[in-house]
């Protein structure tokens, strides 16, 4: 039941996050009154969007201390001395908290790179190509799990991974063959006319960025699984640490890029002033940004919890399945038109996801003869806390 709740939470928050990011990209920030849609400028600030996402993750760290304060305030005083005695008697051979911190720093580094590349790639490519290429994260995650986590994948795993990628590819192909119609304005405040590019070179650059981003995203999934298995760090604390590191890194990088390049290109991605005014001067942009902060916090918390409960490869497979729900919401909002080819792709995608997670089965001769993940008995060192507060009472 707990695993189902985590998967449902990951899918729900993931759908909200993608829809909100798409809505934010559709906000007009300049020349909005021009009758020619091609003359209007829309919100395209991948660096600021990455900062917003990391800021959302820091909310998890705030939640950690709120919960800690609440627990200490409501904890019976009688138990304090007993807890202190237990802590004094803990195994002194446990490694110091700094052990494993390299892995913890690597995770937000991978996430930072992946998010930036995907945000840039999404600007240069259509949504269909972006959606199709994101399916490659499943293959990269499976490969990294074999290499670094010594994970065993059986025949039915590879078949399911192939089905997932095939399903996403069909969905992307259907969007390319039957492009969605331009959505009409549904409020006075939000202009939802989609700006498309016909520059083939720019499209290829976008494809490259999105594809490379999946390598970093897959490595992030595998590193998170390693940390969640090796150290007793709570998902909330792990996401919060990633957020703090990401906010600091992006902020420093923004100023460096601004003075090195952005100051001489006022309309570019790296001009801090331009991006700031586009956000604060447009209600649709900053309101969607606030919503993105909360959705990304919940999404990463549920995602890490799924990694801890199942595996990194299963998480990436489930994450791919949320495209189905994104498509349904897009149809409901009028952003896309129905396509039978797209429906076939989604059916294959769902089948591959269910096959990987054991909901449906292949014929018996393809089933594994032993568990997918052999039982592992971690030593006291592997169960060491990442931070002092992660000691279990």
133: confidence class by pLDDT, cuts 50, 70, 90 = low
189: confidence class by pLDDT, cuts 50, 70, 90 = very low
Lowest model confidence (mean pLDDT) among 119-123, 307-311, 357-361? 119-123
HSE (side-chain half, CA atoms, 13 Å) at 252: 6
**235-262: per-residue pLDDT in tens?**
778 778 878 888 888 888 888 888 888 8
Decide if 351 is inside a domain.
no
Q: Give dist(CA 391, CA 393) in Å, integer.
A: 6
Most confident of 17-31, 318-332, 379-393: 17-31
| Number of domain units in the chain | 1
Decide if 81 is inside a domain.
no
**80-113: per-residue pLDDT in tens?**
444 444 444 444 444 334 344 444 455 555 555 6
Decide if 182 is inside a domain.
no
Give residue 11's domain range.
Answer: 2-73+98-153+197-320
**137-170: per-residue pLDDT in tens?**
777 878 888 887 777 877 778 888 888 788 877 8
Instruction: Retrieve residue 279's tokens.
Output: 């956000």
Residue 364 DSSP label: G
Decide if 376 is inside a domain.
no
Q: Which of 24, 107, 56, 116 is nearest to 298 (CA)?
A: 56
Each residue of 311-325: b (16+ CB within 10 Å) or e? Answer: bbbbbbbbbbbbbbb
Q: Which of 252, 361, 239, 353 is nearest to 303 (CA)?
A: 239
Average pLDDT of span 23-29 = 85
Decide if 218 is inside a domain.
yes
Number of other CB atoms surrounding residue 9 within 10 Å:
17
Decide if 171 is inside a domain.
no
Decide if 55 is inside a domain.
yes
Decide if 43 is inside a domain.
yes
pLDDT above 50 (res 233): yes
Instruction: Retrieve residue 79's tokens.
Output: 């138990």
Number of other CB atoms surrounding residue 177 within 10 Å:
11
């Amino acid at each position: 039941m707990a695993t189902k709740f985590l998967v449902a939470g990951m899918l729900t928050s993931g759908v909200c996050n993608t829809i909100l990011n798409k809505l934010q990209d559709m906000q007009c920030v300049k020349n909005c009154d021009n009758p020619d849609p091609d003359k209007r400028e829309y919100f395209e600030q991948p660096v600021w969007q990455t900062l917003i996402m990391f800021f959302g993750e820091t909310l998890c760290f705030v939640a950690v201390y709120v919960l800690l304060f609440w627990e200490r305030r409501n904890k019976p005083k009688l138990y304090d001395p007993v807890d202190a005695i237990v802590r004094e008697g803990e195994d002194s051979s446990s490694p110091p908290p700094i052990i494993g911190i390299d892995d913890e720093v690597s995770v937000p580094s991978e996430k930072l790179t992946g998010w930036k590349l995907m945000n840039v790639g999404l600007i240069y490519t259509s949504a269909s190509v972006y959606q199709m290429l994101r399916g490659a994260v499943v293959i990269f995650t499976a490969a990294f799990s074999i290499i670094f986590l010594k994970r065993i994948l059986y025949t039915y795993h590879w078949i399911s991974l192939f089905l997932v990628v095939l399903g996403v590819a069909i969905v992307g192909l259907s969007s390319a063959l039957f492009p969605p119609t331009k959505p009409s304005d549904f409020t006075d405040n939000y202009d939802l006319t989609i700006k498309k590019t016909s520059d083939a070179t720019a499209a290829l650059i976008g494809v490259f960025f999105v594809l490379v981003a999946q390598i970093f995203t897959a490595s992030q999934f595998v590193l998170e699984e390693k940390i969640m298995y090796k150290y007793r760090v709570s998902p909330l604390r792990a996401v919060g640490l990633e957020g703090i590191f990401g906010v600091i890194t992006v902020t420093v990088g923004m100023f460096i890029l601004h003075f090195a390049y952005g100051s001489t290109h006022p309309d570019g991605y790296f001009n801090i002033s331009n991006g700031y005014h586009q956000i604060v001067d447009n209600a649709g942009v900053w309101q969607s940004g606030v919503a993105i902060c909360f959705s990304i916090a919940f999404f990463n918390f549920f995602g890490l919890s799924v990694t801890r409960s199942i595996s990194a490869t299963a998480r990436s497979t489930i994450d791919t399945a949320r495209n189905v729900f994104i498509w349904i919401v897009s149809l409901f909002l009028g952003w896309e038109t129905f396509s039978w080819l797209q429906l076939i792709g989604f059916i294959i995608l769902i089948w591959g996801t269910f096959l990987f997670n054991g909901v449906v089965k292949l014929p018996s001769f393809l089933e594994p003869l032993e568990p997918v993940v052999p039982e592992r008995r971690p030593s006291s060192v592997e169960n060491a806390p990442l931070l002092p507060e992660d000691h279990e009472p």
